[in-house]
Amino acid sequence: MNELRPQHPLARLLKAAELARSTFYWQLACAKKPDKYADDKHQILALFHKHKGRYGYRRITLAGRRQGSSLNHKTVQRLMQQLDLTACIRRKKYNSYKGRYGKAAGNVLNRQFSADKPNQKWVTDVTEFKIAGEKLYLSPVLDLYNGEIVAYQMEHRPVLSMVDDMLSKALSVLSEGEYPLVHSDQGWQYQMAHYQKRLREAGLKQSMSRKGTCYDNAVIESFFGTLKTECLYLEEYRSISELRDAIDEYIYYYNHERIKQKLKGLSPVEYRTQAQIAA
C-alpha cells in the first residue's frame, strides 16, 4: 500500500487525531465485517420494546431463551449497552406510620417472605396515585408463594369498603382447607373491628408490621415500586380513568406474562400452574 503524502487530507487527519495509519485501516476493515449478533440485537430490541423497557438484561436473557436464544446474560448486557437500552430505574416511596385506629396484631410473618405453596401467606397494603389533581387508591393482595396478585380493588378514596371488597375477592379464590396468613402494615383499615372479624370468620390469621417499619412488608412495597416504575412513570395519563385501565392491564401482564428470575424464568401464573401439574 502506498504511503500517504504529508499533504494528503487523510494524512493530516490521522496526525491531528494522533492515530496510527495501521490502526485506522484495521478499524475500517472491522467496520466492513458483518455483525454476527445482528439477529440477536433485533430480538433484544423486540423484547425490550414489547415489555416497554421494563426488562433489564437478566430478564431479556430469560425471555430470549424462551424464543430459542442461547446468549448468556453477560453477552445480552453488552449488546444492550451497544444498543443503548437501559431498563427503567425503580423509584421507591415508603409511607410512614400514621397512628392507631383500633387493635394492632402482632408481627407473625416476621419477614419470612417465602411460602411452600399457594395461598399460604398473603401480604397487602394500599398505595396512592395522583393524576391531574385527582387521586386513585389501589388495594392488592399478593401471594408470597409466587408473587401473584390474588385480588385487588381501586377507589377514588381510601375508604374501608375498598379493603372490604378486596378481601371478598381474595377469599373467593380460596379452596377448602386454605387459610392463609394475611400480613399488612398498621393502617387504620386493617385495625378496624369489621375487617378483623371477617378474617377470623374465614379462619385467616392476621399479622401486622411493627410500628413505622415498612421493611416488615417489603414485598408489597416492592410490588408498588415496580408497578409505578413500569406502568405509572412510563406513560403520560390525562385522567384517573386512563390510569385505572392501565393498572388493570398491567396487573394482568404482571401475573400472566412478566417473567421473574427467581421463578425460573416463568410468570407467577405459569409458575403456580406448573407446580400444580407436577403435584
Among 83, 113, 144, give the residue marking a domain's end.
83
Using one digit for the tens of pLDDT, what is the confidence trace for 174-225?
A: 999 999 999 999 988 898 888 999 999 999 999 999 987 889 999 999 999 9
Q: In terms of pLDDT, which residue wins out, 101 or 35? A: 35
Domain annotation covers residue 206: yes
The number of beta carbons lying within 10 Å of the beta carbon of residue 134 is 12
Query: Does one domain contain both 139 and 79?
Result: no
Confidence of residue 171 (pLDDT cuts 50, 70, 90): very high
- 183 with 255, same domain? yes
For residue 272, tell me if it sits in a domain: yes
The pLDDT mean for the chain works out to: 85
Domain count, the chain: 2
Q: Does residue 245 surpass a pLDDT of 60?
A: yes
**Is 47 buried (19+), middle (13-18) or exposed (0-12) by CB count in 10 A?**
buried
Question: Looking at the predicted structure, is the pLDDT value of residue 72 above 80?
Answer: yes
Range(s) of the domain holding residue 263:
121-278
Among the residue ranges 85-94, 117-126, 166-175, the one predicted with the least confidence is 85-94
Taking only the tens place, the pLDDT of each residue in 6-34 is: 555 555 555 555 556 555 555 556 566 67
Closest CA to 146 of 226, 60, 264, 278: 264
d(CA 74, CA 80): 10
Burial of 164 (0-12, 13-18, 19+ CB in 10 A): middle
End of a domain among 61, 83, 105? 83
Question: Is 29 inside any structural domain?
Answer: no
Indicate whether 183 and 51 sit together in one domain.
no
Total Cβ atoms within 10 A of residue 229: 18
Tell me which residue of 99, 128, 120 sits closest to 190, measured CA to CA: 99
Q: In terms of domains, do 77 and 135 share one? A: no
* 198 vs 168: CA distance, rounded Å: 9
User: Closest by alpha carbon to 279, among 150, 145, 123?
Assistant: 145
Res 87: pLDDT: 77
Q: Are residues 174 and 43 in the same domain?
A: no
Lowest mean pLDDT: which of 63-72, 74-83, 94-103, 184-193?
94-103
Q: Please tell me whether the overall predicted TM-score, pTM, comes out greater than 0.75 for this model.
A: no
* CA-to-CA separations, 24 to 29, 214, 267, 275, in angstroms, rounded: 9, 57, 48, 57
Q: Which helix or strand (DSSP H or E) is residue 140 part of? A: strand 134-143
Q: For residues 43 and 153, which has the higher predicted lDDT (pLDDT)?
A: 153
